[in-house]
Amino acid sequence: MSMKIGILGYGNLGRGVECAVKQNPDMELKAVFTRRPPKSISLLTKGVGVHSVEEAKNWKEEIDVMILCGGSATDLPEQTKELVKYFHVVDSFDTHAAIPEHFEKVDKAAKEGGKIGIISCGWDPGMFSLNRLYAETILPTGKEYTFWGKGVSQGHSDAIRRIEGVKDARQYTIPVEEALNSVRNGENKELTPRQKHIRECYVVLHENGDREKIEKEIVTMPNYFADYDTKVHFISEEELKRDHMGIPHGGFVIRSGKTGWEEENSHIIEYSLKLDSNPEFTSSVLAAYARAAYRLAKEGQKGCKTVFDIPPAYLSPKTGEELRSCLL
Amino acid sequence: MSMKIGILGYGNLGRGVECAVKQNPDMELKAVFTRRPPKSISLLTKGVGVHSVEEAKNWKEEIDVMILCGGSATDLPEQTKELVKYFHVVDSFDTHAAIPEHFEKVDKAAKEGGKIGIISCGWDPGMFSLNRLYAETILPTGKEYTFWGKGVSQGHSDAIRRIEGVKDARQYTIPVEEALNSVRNGENKELTPRQKHIRECYVVLHENGDREKIEKEIVTMPNYFADYDTKVHFISEEELKRDHMGIPHGGFVIRSGKTGWEEENSHIIEYSLKLDSNPEFTSSVLAAYARAAYRLAKEGQKGCKTVFDIPPAYLSPKTGEELRSCLL
């Protein structure tokens, strides 16, 4: 009685889900759906077919949970609300500001179709959100800080790549050690973007790229770099390929709070991630929440859910008895 | 429409709950129940009465959630299953090995009475358990480590106090830095008790206490100290009162896991607590789960629950919309 999993979208995230399914003995990969020519894709898993996204809905009897592995900019806003008409779905929608709107649309479609749609499963939104929530409810008198990195920011790397004369680029977001320590010491300062994060850029130029002009364009770019201390390193394409092809990431959620009648006692709750592969970790979160979707569906629940709505036990293959005796 | 909270047991934990209720505007302290003469107790909160535990059940219409603040050794095994007949209750039962039995008894009584009983809410069991569960389900291929400290262990302090010639004592459990770093580096070693924790003891002798004999008795004490590197410091009663009256604690839950088709990528999930007051933090967790009990009860749910069974959103006074737009 293993869960039959479908994957829609076979980039880094989709491949990560494929690997995660392999690590979960109660799951079975049933099919992968893509917008590319299906024959152009070869899976890691033997004996599983690749099909066109247009065919997906014909598989609705075959698949228990469809994991949506598209991007948040254009794919998921369309796909999740459409696919949840036919499948229980899980996505990693991560445009924070647009989550309420995405939720409403998915909720409406899911309720009409009698399905479960779990959105925004990953690490931020996702595990970081959960930790913000738990920490804030336990220590209501306090202050919360989220730091990201050290890790590759795709959006910031893309912004550099769009500059004329740039051939390729990788941007690392790095938390400032002094800021982290100040928070851990319970100093509860207001911290500016510049005080919290450094932005480090590795840039490969086109032959005629103007080093000085490009560096200035990067460090003064509004929203992306102007509010930060930004370091720019020009490197060769070989160096980029040799040293910067990984997709590491991570970060810290820290809450500093007070208890006691006169708020005389201080407490620090810290959650941190150090990830070799940002997409594979997100994929692993998606797989765990696919199990939750399956369980909720078995109970006859429907509608849109987030990590806030899911009892933690639903993520685990263990029974309640096992969890209480092994993990509690 | 604030929740009316009762506190049963007014030691460190009960006083901590009283302080936590003050920090949660949607809660109101209704009454405190004690086994001591009620008149011997004066609360921090004005206008709230102290009553004998025997009277508690007469308050069942007055109180929405009763928070049980007794000890796990003898109080809670009797109190939780008895009180849950009349009230929705929350406790911090922390004898890990006895949790399954406690759960069964509370579940039976709670279902008969149509009440909710949330057990084992604190940090371990509690927040540490949650983090073990989330981390294990996300990274099923991996290894998990729990470290405690630096903090005062009540059980170990008591064990020293029982030695002849000892007037008072305080025992600190301290995680070994090298072990923490090895885990954070993903080395996934098997670690013995000695490799994970140091035990540091501050001991006040009676006038005729034999220093050498007592030190030997401590460091060779089976279960408590024999398996650890134990340091014993003899200090004066004044020094103990000056430097060791706090009840700090904390610790780390770290999971090191692998993802990828060939398990080629490593990830570290780390959760840590640094607490000035162990009982006040536990009290703050109890208060948050009292809110969850109140909500579950409003839905007509009943029976025994643990932190594993509670959707995180139920801990928060915020609405689903607020949570999605502020914290997700």
pLDDT in tens, A15-42: 999 999 999 999 999 999 999 999 999 9
Report the alpha-carbon distance of residue A254 to residue A10 in Å, rounded.
34
pLDDT in tens, A203-259: 999 998 999 999 999 999 998 999 999 999 999 999 999 999 999 999 999 999 999
Using the structure block, give the residue that is written with the tokens 């006169």: A262
Cβ atoms A32, A6 nearer than 8 A: yes
Model confidence at B3: pLDDT above 80: yes
Report the alpha-carbon distance of residue A324 to residue B192 in Å, rounded.
24
What is residue B148's three-state secondary structure?
strand
Chain B contact present for A57, CB below 8 A: no
Chain A CB contacts of B137 under 8 Å are: 288, 291, 315-317
Cβ atoms A200, A156 nearer than 8 A: no
Report the alpha-carbon distance of residue A36 to residue A140 in Å, rounded.
49
What distance, in Å, lies between the first and last C-alpha atoms of chain B?
A: 27
Confidence of residue A1 (pLDDT cuts 50, 70, 90): low
Chain B contact present for A19, CB below 8 A: yes
Report the alpha-carbon distance of residue B137 to residue A168 in Å, rounded.
37
Average pLDDT over all residues of chain B: 96
What pLDDT is attached to residue B1?
Answer: 67
Q: How many CB atoms lie within 10 A of CB A155?
A: 9
pTM: 0.96
Instruction: Please give the sequence-ordered ranges of beta strands (E in DSSP) within chain A, or none if there are none.
Output: 3-8, 27-34, 49-52, 65-68, 88-90, 116-118, 142-148, 151-152, 166-175, 197-205, 229-234, 249-259, 265-275, 303-305
Query: DSSP for B67-124?
Result: EE---TTTHHHHHHHHHTTTSEEE-----GGGHHHHHHHHHHHHHHHT-EEE---SBT
Chain A CB contacts of B18 under 8 Å are: 261
pLDDT in tens, A315-326: 999 999 999 999
Mean pLDDT (whole number) for A2-9: 97
Residues 141-160 of A with CB under 8 A from B: 141
User: Closest Cα partner for A33 from A44, A19, A45, A48?
Assistant: A48
Strands B197-205 and A197-205: unpaired
pLDDT in tens, A184-196: 999 989 999 999 9
pLDDT in tens, A90-145: 999 999 999 999 999 999 999 999 999 999 999 999 999 999 999 999 999 999 99
Between A9 and A208, where is the model more confident?
A9
Report the alpha-carbon distance of residue A19 to residue A283 in Å, rounded.
8
Strands A229-234 and B142-148: unpaired
- Rounded to a whole number of angstroms, the distance from the CA of B216 to the nearest CA of chain A is 35
Q: How many CB atoms lie within 10 A of CB B49?
A: 12
What pLDDT is attached to residue A281?
Answer: 98
